[in-house]
Amino acid sequence: MNEATGIAHFLGQTDVIGKSLFVLLVVMSVLSWFYIITKTIEQMCIRKRSQVFMDFFWNAPSLDAVQHEIKTQGADNPFSRLALHALTARAHHARVDAARLEEAGSAADLLTRTMRRVIDEETTRLENGLTVLASIGATAPFVGLFGTVWGVYHALVAIGASGMASLEQIAGPVGEALIMTGLGLAVAIPAVLGYNAMVRSNRVLLGRLDSFAHDLFAFLTTGQQAGSLNGKGSNISLLHKTETGTGH
């Protein structure tokens, strides 16, 4: 590629719209990589902290010891936050005996609502930023294509005005305009791959959280575990059945 061609030459020849599209793609790329890197680090930390808490929880001497440990060390993962809210809800119901509408029903009903709310909050927390990745992955190719179409249009207009229509006069500007399509794909592909990886990781983590919620619910209401000690219980949908009575 000689000095008269390339992305720098294309930006120098294009108008404000072409430059704006290029800047938009750069911003999209920065945002996508920011979320990919930060969410990856965040999920690694969550998995590590969750495993440490789960090992402690099922080997703790009592629920009081679990609650004391959470309050001392802090609830820094979805599993510890779920356990803390569930233990607090059970103690609160026993103390006030459903004095408000929010606390109406049995202790099991309050536990169900509390745990379902915590899981919904954790789902929202884990999905933070994924909408940006999905949007970038879906729109970046079209932004790049728009930049290419706009560049080709201006190149053809300039060639027509000059009266020269040789292959050399057409191939250079059109080739430069195609760079925008390549940039759009370069921005979109990492965003799509990162989004899919984050969604799968969240699905696995939430599945484990559902299983833990079912075991914790059974343990707090009956004193027995629904699944094995490593938290492999049934799905949290059982909690939904307890609340609605329909199972749908």
pLDDT digits (tens, 9 = 90+) for 117-165: 999 999 999 999 899 999 999 999 999 998 888 878 777 776 676 666 6
Pick the closest to residue 52 from 35, 74, 34 (CA basis). Answer: 74
pLDDT digits (tens, 9 = 90+) for 203-221: 999 999 999 999 888 888 7
CA dihedral 203→206→211→212, nearest 10 degrees, is 150
> What confidence score (pLDDT) does residue 164 get?
64
- How many Å apart are CA 125 and CA 202, to the nearest integer? 10
Taking CA 186 as the corner, what is the angle to CA 145 and CA 157, rounded to the nearest 5 degrees?
Answer: 30
pLDDT in tens, the chain (248 residues): 444 556 666 666 667 887 888 889 999 999 999 999 999 999 999 999 999 999 998 888 888 888 888 888 888 899 999 998 888 888 776 665 545 544 455 777 888 888 999 999 999 999 998 999 999 999 999 999 988 888 787 777 766 766 666 656 666 667 777 888 889 999 999 999 999 999 999 999 999 999 999 988 888 877 655 444 444 444 344 444 434 444 43
> What confidence score (pLDDT) does residue 171 get?
62
- How many Å apart are CA 233 and CA 215, to the nearest integer? 6
> What confidence score (pLDDT) does residue 142 get?
94
With residue 185 as reference, give the H or E element that holds it.
Answer: helix 167-222
Q: What is the 3-state secondary structure (H, E, C) of 13-37?
A: HCCHHHHHHHHHHHHHHHHHHHHHH
Q: What pTM was computed for the model?
A: 0.74
Question: Which residue shows structure tokens 């009575």?
Answer: 245
> What confidence score (pLDDT) does residue 141 get?
94
Cα–Cα distances (Å) from 87 to 148, 189, 220, 221, in that order, read 59, 44, 8, 11
Task: Locate 205 and state its tokens.
Answer: 């983590």
Domain boundaries, the chain: 7-244
- How many Å apart are CA 196 and CA 51, to the nearest integer? 23
CB 47 within 8 A of CB 207: no
Pick the closest to residue 69 from 79, 56, 86 (CA basis). Answer: 56
Pick the closest to residue 27 from 132, 182, 181 (CA basis). Answer: 132
> What confidence score (pLDDT) does residue 93 get?
66
